[in-house]
């Protein structure tokens, strides 16, 4: 049985379907939100054979002409060059305003295909079928689409909610343990920023999640989508500051991602960034030690890094933190923690405190997990 619910935004509605084997019903779910005549299924080389082709078949079975466009796996595919190649496919296949772009893959595919859909003919429908945990609970929800620019990640993009997101929990069976853990970093983040209930849920359900129990994964994804959507609904275009809470762990996390030259997964960097943000919150006298220790323990349970695997140059990280997208008038705005479920935005953080928070996640005798 699939769970089905609607996310209501200011000017759009997203139907969400979650369940084991949900991809098999994609054609019918599409029919319920629109009569698409033609669709291009955008998928990457790792998932095309198993999931991309299946999606195209179910579309054809309901009378929607579908072609599959396969992109190379990896963030390098989030480029304007790739966008152009996909426009070529849409043009030659004759996808017009009544058509759709269907994404089947991780966050790279959903971000890229979402952007192509949002811009082709000033916008055709995007149907997102995320296949990684990161995409299920984060990238596919909230309307951010886009590609990278040579000067930075995600610098080109638009906000546009898809009418349909179909999450097939079965896809997670083939996901590597490393990618699964990376996705769990965002889930732990959602627990920490909302409070005791979902944090304790993570503690209670670790073995079921790690064992990829279908029902537990379904609940995990639904709860995460609910949290992300309710934060986004308060600040759809990142204007009021409400959406900033989702950046918990991301300021230092992004800097680590860059300094490590993208050797580490985004979620791994977010895990390290959350540990550093907790330590920073402690240093600022906001957070009790036991909460910071609890967050760290939870990240380790899910197989995440809480110390860097290789030493990094603290100054290089500080430098990148200072160049964060959210830096205003030379001050970086951190999301700090006062308690589980209680965050504060703080722009007045002393450099020394930032340095020691970063030092606290360096590998070392007292730092080994
Ligand atoms: N739009 C947003 O709000 C938002 C939020 C979070 C992340 N993102 C973006 O998402 C991207 C990261 O997403 P990701 O972690 O899913 O990366 P990804 O799309 O690169 O997927 C990770 C790897 O897993 C493979 N894969 C995908 N599904 C699989 C499956 N079911 N089984 C086996 N392998 C599978 C992919 O081929 C890839 O090699 C980044 O570009 C990030 O900027 C966007
Ligand atoms: Zn993230």
Closest CA to 26 of 49, 65, 72, 60: 60
pLDDT category at 326 given cuts 50, 70, 90 is low
Minimal-distance CA residue to ligand 1 atom 6: 139
Mutate to test the pocket of ligand 1, among 7, 20, 46, 170 (most ligand atoms within 8 A of CB): 46
Ligand 1 centre to CA of 347 (Å) is: 31
pLDDT category at 325 given cuts 50, 70, 90 is low
pLDDT mean over 151-161: 95
Look at 331 and 104; give whichever has higher pLDDT. 104
Q: Is 243 one of the annotated active-site residues of the chain?
A: yes
Q: Is 265 one of the annotated active-site residues of the chain?
A: no
Q: Is 250 one of the annotated active-site residues of the chain?
A: yes
> What pLDDT, in 10s, does the model give residues 335-348?
999 999 999 999 99
Phi, psi of 77 (to 5 degrees): -75, -15
> What pLDDT, in 10s, does the model give residues 48-104?
999 999 999 999 999 999 999 999 999 999 999 999 999 999 999 999 999 999 999
Q: What ligand 1 atom has the least distance to the C-alpha of 44?
A: 37
Minimal-distance CA residue to ligand 1 atom 34: 175
| pTM attached to this predicted model | 0.96
Ligand 2 centre to CA of 79 (Å) is: 19
């Amino acid at each position: 049985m699939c769970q089905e619910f609607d996310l209501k935004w200011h000017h759009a509605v997203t139907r969400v379907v979650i369940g084991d084997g949900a991809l098999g019903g994609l054609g019918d779910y599409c029919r319920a939100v629109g009569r698409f005549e033609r669709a291009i299924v955008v998928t990457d080389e790792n998932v095309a054979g198993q999931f991309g082709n299946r999606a195209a078949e179910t579309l054809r079975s309901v009378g929607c002409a579908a072609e599959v466009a396969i992109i190379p796996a990896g963030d390098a595919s989030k480029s304007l060059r790739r966008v152009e190649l996909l426009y070529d496919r849409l043009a030659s296949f004759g996808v017009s305003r009544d058509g759709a772009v269907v994404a089947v893959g991780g966050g790279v595919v959903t971000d890229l295909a979402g952007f192509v859909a949002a811009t082709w003919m000033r916008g055709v429908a995007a149907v997102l079928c995320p296949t990684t945990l990161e995409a299920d609970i984060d990238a596919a929800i909230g309307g951010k689409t886009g590609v990278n620019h040579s000067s930075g990640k995600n610098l080109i993009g638009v906000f546009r909610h898809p009418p349909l997101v179909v999450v097939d929990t079965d896809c997670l069976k083939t996901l590597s343990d490393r990618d699964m853990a990376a996705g769990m970093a965002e889930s732990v983040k959602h627990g920490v920023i909302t409070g005791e209930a979902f944090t304790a849920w993570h503690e209670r359900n670790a073995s079921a999640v790690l064992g990829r129990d279908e029902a537990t994964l379904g609940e995990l994804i639904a709860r995460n989508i609910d949290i992300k959507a309710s934060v986004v609904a308060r600040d759809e275009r990142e204007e009021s500051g409400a959406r900033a809470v989702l950046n918990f762990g991301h300021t230092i996390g992004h800097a680590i991602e860059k300094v490590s030259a993208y050797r580490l997964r985004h979620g791994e960097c977010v895990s390290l960034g959350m540990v550093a943000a907790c330590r920073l919150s402690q240093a600022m006298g906001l957070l009790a030690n036991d909460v910071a220790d609890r967050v760290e323990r939870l990240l380790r349970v899910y197989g995440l890094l809480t110390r860097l695997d290789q030493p990094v140059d603290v100054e290089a990280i500080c430098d990148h933190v200072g160049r964060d997208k959210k830096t205003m008038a030379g001050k970086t705005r951190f999301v700090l923690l006062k308690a589980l479920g209680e965050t504060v935005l703080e722009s007045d953080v002393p450099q020394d405190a930032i340095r020691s928070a970063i030092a606290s996640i360096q590998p070392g005798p007292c730092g080994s997990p």
